[in-house]
Amino acid sequence: MTNFGLFVRFTLRDGAGEAFDELIRETAAGIQAHEPGTLVYACHEVEGAPNERIFFELYADHAAFVEHERQPHTRHFLAERSKYVEKTEVDRLQPYAGKYPTGAKK
């Protein structure tokens, strides 16, 4: 099996950044505590675009991603995000070369 990744761009509603970021901090704490198969879950603000957020997610394999989606903290995020998000764009990634964290398979 190979790693599985996501690149996600969120366009937030005006004024929703602070609340969305707090929701993400709560979600990220659950990911760190309960998801060994989530190798990278990196959330970014976009310079010059205050209503944009970029996530890069890397999972040990597709099964780890499915497990991530089943977690209570992830389900809470998915249920709450529509309050803050105007648009979501998701690219599914199949890594094939590069430098990966320990435990990641190329």
The whole-number average pLDDT for the span 80-106 is 86
Task: Determine the pLDDT at residue 104.
Answer: 56
Contact 29, 87 (CB under 8 A): no
- Neighbouring residues of 78: CB distance < 8 A, sequence distance ≥ 6: none
> In the predicted model, is pLDDT for residue 2 greater than 90?
no
**Dihedral angle computed from the Cα positions of residues 42, 67, 79 and 10, in that order, rounded to the nearest 10 degrees:** 30
Q: How many other C-beta atoms can be found within 10 angstroms of the C-beta atom of residue 7? A: 13
The whole-number average pLDDT for the span 67-84 is 98
Task: Determine the pLDDT at residue 94.
Answer: 87
Q: How far apart are CA 5 and CA 19, in angstroms?
A: 26
State pLDDT tens for residues 19-75.
999 999 999 999 999 999 999 999 999 999 999 999 999 999 999 999 999 999 999
> In the predicted model, is pLDDT for residue 105 greater than 60?
no
Task: Determine the pLDDT at residue 101.
Answer: 77
Task: Determine the pLDDT at residue 106.
Answer: 53
Task: Determine the pLDDT at residue 102.
Answer: 63
Q: Render 40-64 in DSSP notation, one character per residue.
A: EEEEEEETTEEEEEEEEEEESSHHH
